[in-house]
Amino acid sequence: MRILAKSKLPEVLDLFSGCGGLALGFQQAGYRITHGVELMENANRNANYNLCLKQGRPANHICGDVTQMADDVFLPEVGRHGCVVIGGPPCQAYSLIGRAKINSVRDEGTFLDDHRGFLFEDFLRLALGHHARAVVMENVRQCTAFGHMNVPEVAAERLEQAGYTVFWTILNAADFGVPQIRERMILFAVKGRVTPVLPRPTHSGRRYGGLYAGTGLKAFEACPHYLPARRRMRRDPAWLTVEEAIGDLPSLRTRPDEPYQANNMNLLLPYEYEPENAYQAAMRGGEEYVSGNVYHNNPRDYAIFDRMEEGDTYPRAAGIAREIFAERRRRTGVQEGTPEWEKLWRETVPPYSVDKFLSKWKRIERDKPCYTLTAHLSLDSYSHIHPWEPRGISVREAARIQSFPDDYVFQSNMGDAFKQIGNSVPPLMAEAIATALRKMLGEQEDSAWQNVQI
């Protein structure tokens, strides 16, 4: 199968770009990102800095609302090799966490009233308006069940009617060298008739047995445009673990009683160790210092984190808190029912129900891939407590777990950086997606492409 040279690759239009994880993967696969749109100003600034300015090219992502843009907003700027439209319309209306939050704050209506659930229509509108040579759309797996609507199937039918070969699949980021179990729906569409190509996994989960089995995927086989992901090969390297991903990064807290250091996001610290594996070396890219060494300040809970075992969740944390309270009460001699007793309780024991917070606190296990990072990290990091230090993970550790290289600089505050990382497509998985698309585009000579334009 012929693979297109870089000089003949279509330009990429990056919609709903976030801080640029999907675009970075396409860039790493040889594509040129020529236009981008993102509503969140800070995320747009990060995309521009890391994808363009840092490489000496002018900024090409604009801060704007896709829903207010003309179908052909970037024409006639798209080059003669056509364009690829990529993007991940917001997932909050689809994700289980997002649905629960929406339902909890509304007096009337449900998550189905959330307009963000229909932003894929604007994504398709701009893709067709630019006569896209190919389309790649990413979203959470739950987008397959938005009420009674299977979003990728609806999108596939519209693109197929417009003359595209279309299919969608469910990919796990861990299969592509990302140290994180993260399932995502990926839709591919290529103008004309081509043979579908699925990304090839580079890593296997065989070492972990039942940790992840791709549950529920068989049900998708009844969908006309669904293709099962390619099988992992037993000879492939094992999924990367958290320790393999972040073990060389700077130590930020060794004891629970250390004073909190409110580091600046741009503070550069030296690495803790020499690279211990190929992943760490690749993430460093020759850098000697690294930024993003910041984490949430949780003064009440450092002592709790310190006693939690890897894999422990909130029920165990609540038990530890009560143990610590009993120890402090004996040491201070405060009497039950007094204001001093109540103050000590507030300063020691989290006020959350064990039933409702069953898994909302969790200490990462170093010898396994991480579980999915989410945008909620912007508010706190109880869901991802560091495996061997008594704290939540740092921005740089989250970026490593998401496969952002260490020279990807987050020019933002800590909360925004966590949110953007949690919302991103892991660049290594994006690169595998872009490579598969490049093979499909290679079937078409430019002359053939001209014949299938709308």
Task: Please report the DSSP string for 105-130 in residue order.
Answer: H-SS--GGG-GGGGTHHHHHHHHHHT
Output the six-digit token pair for 198.
């699925």
Which amino acid is residue 317, in one-letter code? A
Residuewise pLDDT in 10s, the chain (454 residues) = 567 776 689 999 999 999 999 999 999 999 999 999 999 999 999 999 999 999 899 999 999 999 999 999 998 888 777 899 999 998 666 655 554 444 444 455 544 554 667 899 999 999 999 999 999 999 999 999 988 899 999 999 999 999 999 999 999 999 999 999 999 999 999 999 999 999 999 999 888 876 776 788 999 999 999 999 998 777 889 999 999 999 999 999 999 999 999 999 999 999 999 999 999 999 999 999 999 999 999 999 999 999 999 999 999 999 999 999 999 999 999 999 999 999 999 999 999 998 888 888 999 999 999 999 999 999 999 999 999 999 999 999 999 999 999 999 999 999 999 999 999 999 999 999 999 999 999 976 554 455 554 4
Any idea which residues carry the catalytic annotation? 91
Q: How far apart are CA 384 and CA 251, in angstroms?
A: 16
Phi, psi of 9 (to 5 degrees): -70, 140
pLDDT tens per residue, range 290-317: 999 999 999 999 999 999 999 999 999 9
Q: Contact at 8 Å (CB) between 131 and 159?
A: no
Q: What is the pLDDT of residue 129?
A: 96
The number of residues in the chain equals 454
The CA-atom distances, in angstroms, between 188 and each of 137, 142, 154, 160, 168 are 7, 18, 13, 11, 6
Distances (CA, A) of 398 to 129, 208, 451: 36, 22, 45
Question: Where are the alpha helices (H) located in 272-413, listed in sequence order?
Answer: 278-284, 302-307, 314-332, 339-348, 395-401
DSSP structure string for 131-185? T-SEEEEEEEGGGGGBTTB-HHHHHHHHHHHTTEEEEEEEEEGGGGT-SB--EEE
In whole angstroms, give the CA distance from residue 112 to residue 117.
7
**End-to-end Cα separation, the chain, in angstroms:** 25
Q: Measure the CA–CA gap between 193 and 314, rounded to whole angstroms.
A: 52
pLDDT tens column, 130-175: 999 999 999 999 999 988 899 999 999 999 999 999 999 999 999 9
Within a 10 A sphere around the Cβ of 222, how many other Cβ atoms?
A: 7
Domains of the chain, with CATH numbers? 6-237+427-452 (3.40.50.150), 242-423 (3.90.120.10)
> Which pLDDT score, from 0 to 100, does residue 104 have?
45
Interior/surface letters 329-345, b for 16+ CB within 10 angstroms, e for the rest? beeeebeeeeeeeeebb
Question: In 3-state terms, what secondary structure has residue 287?
Answer: coil
Among candidates 40, 31, 92, 82, which has minimal Cα distance to 61? 40
CB 11 within 8 A of CB 79: yes
CA distance 365 to 138: 28
Q: Is 435 helix (H, G, I), strand (E, B) or coil?
A: helix
Tokens describing residue 96: 């289980």
| pTM exceeds 0.85, yes or no | yes
Using left for φ > 0, alpha for ψ between -120 and 50, and beta otherwise, residue 105 falls in alpha
Angstrom distance (rounded) from CA 154 to CA 168: 11
Helix H segments across 314-445? Answer: 314-332, 339-348, 395-401, 414-423, 427-441
**Cβ(29)–Cβ(428) under 8 Å?**
no
